[in-house]
Amino acid sequence: MNEQTLAIHAGYDKDSMGTMAVPIYQTTAYEFKDTEHAANLFELKELGNIYTRLMNPTTDIFEKRFAALEHGVAAIGTASGMAAIFYAIANVAEAGDNIIVAKQVYGGTTTLTGHTIKRFGIETRYFDITNPSEIEALIDEKTKIILFESITNPSVDVADFDAIVAIAKKHNVMTCVDNTVATPIFCKPIDFGCDIVVHSASKYTTGQGLALGGVVVERENLVELIKDNPRYSHFNEPDESYHGLVYSDLPLPLFCLRMRLSLLRDLGATPSPFNSWLYIQGLETLPLRMKQHALSALKIAEFLESHPKVKKVNYPGLKSNVNYTLAQKYFPKGQSGLLSFEVSSKEEAQAIADSTEIFKVVVNIGDSKSIITHPASTTHQQLSEKELIEAGVPGGLIRLSVGLEDTQNLIDDLSKALN
């Protein structure tokens, strides 16, 4: 089925009441038939609902729908995009291990990988997304995952999946792609050989800035990479916290299963059923919205490129952009609504952001309402000067998340602010 149909129907037909709209199962717990049924569920002899920290029927529909859209086999909904990224890392890495992460990622991912998980004993090694050949020298036997964004926020670079996946496959290392900006409408990293996809559902998924959320998607047959692979021994050895369960022996999506049984159980960053319902509402219109976001962003990028005050425009849909060829290869249907541009100084960038009327000064992306952000003083404020340059965030950089308003109105707004 085409993604426009999947976005509306995947994961849900009707419930026992025949409801056309997906119901919100607003509950913490579930009544078991009897104690034997309860015991069977806990022992995984039967699959079913136990407690909403682990699973919920509304969240389950969201997970199935998202997995279908990403061409994955299973998904786990989380309370935020950061929770999804942390869980993807924590599902494979422990103290003494290392992970490899692109330098050009969302600021929260940089602080998570560069600071927070360091305190858990996990080392992060960084590579330049524009030069994936750097990855190979960083891999050793303790490397657990290679994490990068398909379209980077806010430098708007494009990942070369083929180059990264080739190195990962050579060394039997898992790849994890943050596909928040491209969305599954423009790119499905699993189709290019990636293993795990993560998202902040707070962005284009809900689409109107309504709720925080995240999701982790697993590709089919991940067991091929994990089974007997010494990098992933904890999937191949008994899990003492779950009666000696060996995940790689189960005929189930093992990455998601371990994340659910272990990380959701113990850390609990689960979405509320109501938020899962909001993500589902968002998914229904995602294909249509993404087309408009991308059309408008391209026109705005072309306008900015011709403006004398603008030094550089980062939008991979522009023919002049260094990422144009890669974008045509991996995102031929559109390059999302995120773009950034550079003016001569931090002060000028802040003055422009303060002068727009339709574009609001907000730290979010993927909203129907257009957003203007000065990353160096906000989303990336905690980064050092060196990290800012490496992340492609100079002081004069302005990020735009182009919304769904009339394109000409948006161009007029920017034109006024730039003069």
Q: Where do contacts with ligand PLP occur on this chain (CB under 6 A)?
A: 80-82, 106, 108, 149, 153, 178, 180-181, 200, 202, 212, 214, 365
Rounded to a whole number of angstroms, the minimum distance from the CB of residue 45 to ligand PLP is: 35
Residue-wise burial string across 111-140, b where 16 or more C-beta atoms lie within 10 A, e elsewhere: bbbbeebeeeebbbbbbebbebebbeebbe
Nearer to ligand PLP, 109 or 296 (CB): 109
Query: For the chain, how many helices (H) and strands (E)?
Result: 17, 12
- Whole-number Å distance between alpha carbons of 6 and 308: 44
114 and 124 Cβ atoms separated by less than 8 Å: yes
| Paired sense of beta strands 214-218 and 74-78, if any | antiparallel
- State in angstroms the smallest separation of the CB of 401 from ligand PLP: 9
CB of 82 to ligand PLP, least distance (A): 4
User: Rounded to whole angstroms, how far apart are CA atoms 151 and 158?
Assistant: 5
* Angle between helix 57-69 and helix 273-305 axes, rounded to 10 deg: 30
Closest to ligand PLP by CB, 78 vs 248, is 78
Between 248 and 272, CB nearer to ligand PLP: 272
Closer residue to ligand PLP in complex, CB, 205/356: 205
Nearer to ligand PLP, 105 or 223 (CB): 105
Smallest separation (angstroms) from ligand PLP to the CB of 391: 12
CB of 312 to ligand PLP, least distance (A): 21
Other CB atoms within a 10 A radius of the CB of residue 26 amount to 12
Helix spans in 322-384 (H): 324-330, 346-355
Shortest Å distance, C-beta 61 to ligand PLP:
20
Nearer to ligand PLP, 98 or 152 (CB): 152
The closest residue (CB) to ligand PLP is 81
- The CA–CA distances, whole Å, from 55 to 58, 261, 380 equal 9, 10, 34
